[in-house]
Structure 1
Protein backbone atom coordinates (compact mmCIF):
# COMPACT_ATOMS: atom_id res chain seq x y z
CA UNK A 1 0.00 0.00 0.00
CA UNK A 2 1.08 3.56 -0.70
CA UNK A 3 -0.08 6.93 0.63
CA UNK A 4 -1.66 9.37 -1.82
CA UNK A 5 -3.29 12.76 -1.58
CA UNK A 6 -5.19 15.10 -3.89
CA UNK A 7 -4.05 18.73 -3.67
CA UNK A 8 -5.82 21.84 -5.01
CA UNK A 9 -4.06 24.61 -6.95
CA UNK A 10 -3.90 26.69 -3.77
CA UNK A 11 -2.03 23.90 -1.95
CA UNK A 12 -5.00 22.75 0.12
CA UNK A 13 -5.13 18.99 0.63
CA UNK A 14 -8.65 17.93 -0.31
CA UNK A 15 -8.29 14.18 0.09
CA UNK A 16 -5.82 11.66 1.51
CA UNK A 17 -6.07 7.92 1.05
CA UNK A 18 -4.14 4.67 0.85
CA UNK A 19 -4.18 2.52 -2.27
CA UNK A 20 -2.08 -0.22 -3.85
CA UNK A 21 1.27 1.10 -5.12
CA UNK A 22 -0.10 1.74 -8.62
CA UNK A 23 -0.36 5.38 -9.70
CA UNK A 24 -3.04 4.73 -12.36
CA UNK A 25 -5.27 2.86 -9.90
CA UNK A 26 -4.70 5.60 -7.31
CA UNK A 27 -5.56 8.26 -9.88
CA UNK A 28 -8.86 6.49 -10.52
CA UNK A 29 -9.45 6.06 -6.77
CA UNK A 30 -9.03 9.81 -6.33
CA UNK A 31 -11.77 10.59 -8.85
CA UNK A 32 -14.73 10.16 -6.44
CA UNK A 33 -13.68 13.36 -4.70
CA UNK A 34 -14.95 15.18 -7.78
CA UNK A 35 -18.56 14.55 -6.80
CA UNK A 36 -17.96 15.97 -3.36
CA UNK A 37 -16.07 18.89 -4.88
CA UNK A 38 -19.00 19.68 -7.19
CA UNK A 39 -21.33 19.83 -4.17
CA UNK A 40 -18.90 22.18 -2.42
CA UNK A 41 -18.57 24.38 -5.53
CA UNK A 42 -22.36 24.67 -5.78
CA UNK A 43 -22.74 25.41 -2.07
CA UNK A 44 -19.95 27.97 -1.81
CA UNK A 45 -19.95 29.41 -5.31
CA UNK A 46 -16.22 28.69 -5.46
CA UNK A 47 -14.30 28.58 -8.71
CA UNK A 48 -13.10 25.04 -9.40
CA UNK A 49 -9.57 24.48 -10.57
CA UNK A 50 -6.99 21.84 -11.35
CA UNK A 51 -5.86 19.27 -8.83
CA UNK A 52 -2.77 17.09 -8.63
CA UNK A 53 -2.29 13.61 -7.26
CA UNK A 54 0.76 13.19 -5.04
CA UNK A 55 2.35 10.03 -3.68
CA UNK A 56 4.47 9.69 -0.52
CA UNK A 57 7.89 8.49 -1.71
CA UNK A 58 11.11 8.33 0.32
CA UNK A 59 9.90 10.76 2.97
CA UNK A 60 8.37 13.42 0.68
CA UNK A 61 5.31 14.03 -1.50
CA UNK A 62 5.98 13.43 -5.21
CA UNK A 63 3.85 14.31 -8.26
CA UNK A 64 1.86 11.31 -9.51
CA UNK A 65 -0.77 12.83 -11.83
CA UNK A 66 -2.95 15.83 -12.65
CA UNK A 67 -6.72 16.14 -12.76
CA UNK A 68 -8.09 18.63 -15.29
CA UNK A 69 -10.17 21.54 -14.09
CA UNK A 70 -13.16 20.30 -12.15
CA UNK A 71 -16.45 22.01 -12.81
CA UNK A 72 -19.59 22.41 -10.77
CA UNK A 73 -21.46 20.15 -13.18
CA UNK A 74 -20.40 16.81 -14.64
CA UNK A 75 -19.47 16.85 -18.33
CA UNK A 76 -22.24 16.02 -20.80
CA UNK A 77 -22.04 12.56 -22.28
CA UNK A 78 -22.41 12.05 -26.00
CA UNK A 79 -25.22 9.81 -27.07
Structure 2
Protein backbone atom coordinates (compact mmCIF):
# COMPACT_ATOMS: atom_id res chain seq x y z
CA UNK A 1 0.00 0.00 0.00
CA UNK A 2 1.37 3.40 -0.95
CA UNK A 3 2.04 5.82 1.88
CA UNK A 4 1.31 9.51 1.96
CA UNK A 5 2.51 12.08 4.44
CA UNK A 6 -0.02 13.79 6.67
CA UNK A 7 1.08 16.67 8.88
CA UNK A 8 -1.04 17.55 11.88
CA UNK A 9 -0.68 20.06 14.69
CA UNK A 10 -1.59 19.07 18.22
CA UNK A 11 -0.88 20.62 21.59
CA UNK A 12 2.23 19.49 23.45
CA UNK A 13 0.24 17.40 25.94
CA UNK A 14 -1.39 15.42 23.14
CA UNK A 15 1.95 14.91 21.41
CA UNK A 16 3.54 13.76 24.67
CA UNK A 17 0.67 11.33 25.32
CA UNK A 18 0.96 9.90 21.79
CA UNK A 19 4.71 9.40 22.20
CA UNK A 20 4.27 7.74 25.60
CA UNK A 21 1.49 5.40 24.41
CA UNK A 22 3.46 4.42 21.31
CA UNK A 23 6.58 3.78 23.39
CA UNK A 24 4.65 1.67 25.90
CA UNK A 25 3.34 -0.45 23.02
CA UNK A 26 6.75 -0.70 21.38
CA UNK A 27 5.63 0.97 18.14
CA UNK A 28 6.32 4.23 16.37
CA UNK A 29 4.09 7.25 16.83
CA UNK A 30 3.24 6.97 13.14
CA UNK A 31 2.02 3.39 13.55
CA UNK A 32 0.15 4.31 16.75
CA UNK A 33 -1.76 7.06 14.94
CA UNK A 34 -2.46 4.76 11.98
CA UNK A 35 -3.90 2.14 14.33
CA UNK A 36 -6.09 4.70 16.09
CA UNK A 37 -7.56 5.87 12.79
CA UNK A 38 -8.13 2.31 11.60
CA UNK A 39 -9.85 1.41 14.86
CA UNK A 40 -12.03 4.51 14.69
CA UNK A 41 -13.11 3.87 11.12
CA UNK A 42 -12.99 0.10 11.04
CA UNK A 43 -14.65 -2.96 12.36
CA UNK A 44 -13.39 -2.51 15.92
CA UNK A 45 -15.49 0.64 16.37
CA UNK A 46 -18.57 -1.01 14.92
CA UNK A 47 -18.06 -4.09 17.10
CA UNK A 48 -17.83 -1.93 20.23
CA UNK A 49 -20.98 0.00 19.37
CA UNK A 50 -22.89 -3.21 18.66
CA UNK A 51 -21.71 -4.77 21.93
CA UNK A 52 -22.79 -1.65 23.85
CA UNK A 53 -26.20 -1.72 22.16
CA UNK A 54 -26.60 -5.42 22.98
CA UNK A 55 -25.66 -4.74 26.61
CA UNK A 56 -28.17 -1.90 26.87
CA UNK A 57 -30.92 -4.07 25.41
CA UNK A 58 -30.09 -7.03 27.65
CA UNK A 59 -30.14 -4.90 30.81
CA UNK A 60 -32.86 -2.48 29.71
CA UNK A 61 -35.26 -3.43 32.52
CA UNK A 62 -32.55 -3.21 35.20
CA UNK A 63 -31.39 0.16 33.91
CA UNK A 64 -34.95 1.45 33.68
CA UNK A 65 -35.63 0.38 37.26
CA UNK A 66 -32.45 1.99 38.55
CA UNK A 67 -32.34 5.13 36.41
CA UNK A 68 -35.82 5.34 34.88
CA UNK A 69 -36.90 8.86 35.83
CA UNK A 70 -33.46 10.37 35.29
CA UNK A 71 -32.93 8.55 31.98
CA UNK A 72 -36.25 9.76 30.61
CA UNK A 73 -35.55 13.34 31.63
CA UNK A 74 -38.24 13.41 34.31
CA UNK A 75 -35.85 13.37 37.23
CA UNK A 76 -34.67 16.51 38.93
CA UNK A 77 -31.05 15.58 38.31
CA UNK A 78 -30.30 16.90 41.79
CA UNK A 79 -29.31 13.52 43.18
CA UNK A 80 -27.52 10.46 41.86
CA UNK A 81 -29.22 7.09 41.42
CA UNK A 82 -28.47 5.93 44.98
CA UNK A 83 -28.29 9.22 46.84
CA UNK A 84 -31.09 9.83 49.29
CA UNK A 85 -32.17 6.17 49.40
CA UNK A 86 -32.23 4.28 52.66
Calculate the TM-score normalised by the size of structure 1: 0.27
Q: Which has the higher contact order (CA 8 A, sep 6+)?
A: 1
Higher radius of gyration, 1 or 2:
2
Identify, as 1 or 2, the structure richer in helix.
Answer: 2
- The structure with the largest strand share of the pair is 1
